[in-house]
Amino acid sequence: MTDSGSSHLDTLLMHTGSAEFNPKTGSAPVAMPSMRTSTVRFANLAALDHALHGRARGERLATYGRAGMDTHAALEDVFCSLENAKRAFLASSGLAAITLALMALLDAGDHVLVSDNVYGPVRNLDRKVLHRMGVQVSYCPARPDALRAHLRPNTRVLYVESPGSLLLEMLDMPALAEFAREHGLILVMDNTWGAGYVYRPLELGADVSVVAGTKYVAGHSDLMLGAVMLRDDALAGRLNDTHYAMGYSISADDAWLALRGVRTLPIRMRQHAANAMEVCRFLSSRPETVRLFHPAWPGDPGHALWQRDAHGSNGLMSVELALDESQARRFVDALRLFAIGYSWGGYESLVQLVEHSALESHSYWSGSGNAVVRLHVGLEDAGDLIDDLGQALDVARR
């Protein structure tokens, strides 16, 4: 790859992971090709020995197709640029990346503290796998005073998500990093919201960052992807050993699609964020709106933390509406441009009617009987999205 000569992330994302020039022809494709293989062949045993010894030292050298070839390595470099990390490990989904991180960093008998705003499937991972493996999990508000009361002699990891994926609760990451250092804990953060572009937890003191590349990195709702990033060599060794032992792999085509998506990440994120602010302004004017959950919105309780720690925003937001259940269902069903779906981060607008049972464990939630709707504000015209929300609210109130 030709050195871009720039430290600006927007420029790095255009050039990191580019194909090398062919030494014979002096040419190279603009887009890294999808390099698919199940088997790696070697010119001689000395070359194989070199690769095996390098792998033993923790270097990224492929000896079998599962570890991936140039396409995978290029995507790993991109994630390292996004997160300012030394190593990145790819997984088949965001949840797979979370599982990889926790399985690599926890042993049987260990205890992990988890923020109570965490992505719902983490609780299922706890119930179905971690509990069976002898790992103890405690959920509590992600504040040092609350966490301190749940510490145990065997606590090893603090796992948090900022902002939370349902109510967009911003956490004080530097304070949590100081707490983790004070008690010898490994701080792992789900950074799917920030995707490394608008939020960089490793720079705020986290030890490990986990991202669902399915969302904003890919950007087109056409692949599943996860990644784990970190700086510490010892922790990277644990991740490397676990990643290889558990057979983690993604397809070269998915890696290629993610590389394609990340080239437009800067402009997509900025437009998502601009559209979301337009939607916030509209919703704040509606009598049905009780509260907006969006850290870039000045009225959000986490706005000051967002201003201090983040470099931008995106299209994910939630809104508490003074609607009963039947009205809320009419509102969602009446939307024309917002498709009903659980994901976010793609180009399209989505809506999810959040069940109150999913919020009961969140200390950030007030516990009111109002409806909560999560919106992913896509790349459609903001005026069209606002018109759609307005007509759907009118339908709900009839």
User: What pairing do the DSSP bridges indicate for beta strands 371-376 and 316-321?
Assistant: antiparallel
Contact status, residue 300 vs residue 292, Cβ threshold 8 Å: yes
**Spatial separation of the C-alpha atoms in residues 304 and 235, rounded to whole Å:** 32
Tokens of 120: 């719902």
**Spatial separation of the C-alpha atoms in residues 153 and 261, rounded to whole Å:** 44
Contact status, residue 350 vs residue 343, Cβ threshold 8 Å: yes
Residue 5 pLDDT: 64
Catalytic pick from 77, 110, 119, 364?
A: 119
Contact status, residue 338 vs residue 388, Cβ threshold 8 Å: yes
Catalytic pick from 36, 66, 286, 397?
A: 66
- C-alpha 306: how far from chain center: 16
* Start-to-end Cα distance in the chain: 60
**Spatial separation of the C-alpha atoms in residues 233 and 353, rounded to whole Å:** 42
Contact status, residue 318 vs residue 372, Cβ threshold 8 Å: yes
**Consecutive H or E run containing 210:** strand 208-211
Contact status, residue 94 vs residue 211, Cβ threshold 8 Å: yes
**Spatial separation of the C-alpha atoms in residues 113 and 99, rounded to whole Å:** 15
Tokens of 212: 């669902």
Catalytic pick from 215, 231, 268, 291?
A: 215
**Spatial separation of the C-alpha atoms in residues 4 and 15, rounded to whole Å:** 7
Residue 77 pLDDT: 95
**Spatial separation of the C-alpha atoms in residues 16 and 213, rounded to whole Å:** 16
**Spatial separation of the C-alpha atoms in residues 317 and 272, rounded to whole Å:** 11
Is the preceding omega at residue 163 within 30 degrees of 0, hence cis? Answer: yes
Catalytic pick from 116, 126, 190, 388?
A: 190
State how far the alpha carbon of 213 is from the alpha carbons of 88, 173, 233, 239, in Å.
12, 21, 23, 18
Contact status, residue 385 vs residue 337, Cβ threshold 8 Å: yes
In the chain, domain spans: 9-36+68-262, 265-397
Cβ of 325: how many Cβ atoms within 10 Å?
12
Could you confirm whether domain 265-397 is CATH 3.90.1150.10? yes
119 noted as active-site residue: yes
Q: What is the DSSP letter of 202?
A: G
Q: For residue 35, which of 13, 19, 23, 16 has the smallest C-alpha distance?
A: 19
Q: For residue 176, which of 252, 97, 114, 230 has the smallest C-alpha distance?
A: 114
Cβ of 222: how many Cβ atoms within 10 Å?
13
**Spatial separation of the C-alpha atoms in residues 110 and 34, rounded to whole Å:** 40
**Spatial separation of the C-alpha atoms in residues 374 and 165, rounded to whole Å:** 9
Contact status, residue 371 vs residue 320, Cβ threshold 8 Å: yes
Could you confirm whether domain 9-36+68-262 is CATH 3.40.640.10? yes
Residue in the block written with tokens 């399985």 = 103
Average pLDDT, consecutive stretches of 10 residues, N- to C-terminus, the chain (398 residues)? 68 86 86 88 94 84 88 96 96 98 98 96 96 97 96 98 96 98 98 97 98 97 97 95 94 96 97 98 98 98 98 98 97 98 96 95 91 98 98 95
Q: For residue 180, which of 217, 200, 208 has the smallest C-alpha distance?
A: 208
State how far the alpha carbon of 283 is from the alpha carbons of 159, 277, 340, 343, 367, in Å.
33, 10, 19, 22, 21
- C-alpha 203: how far from chain center: 16
**Alpha helix stretches (DSSP H) within the chain:** 9-15, 45-56, 70-83, 94-105, 120-125, 144-148, 173-182, 233-245, 252-262, 265-284, 303-309, 325-334, 356-359, 382-397
**What's the predicted TM-score (pTM) here?**
0.94
Query: From the CA atom positions of the chain, what is the Rg in Å?
Result: 22
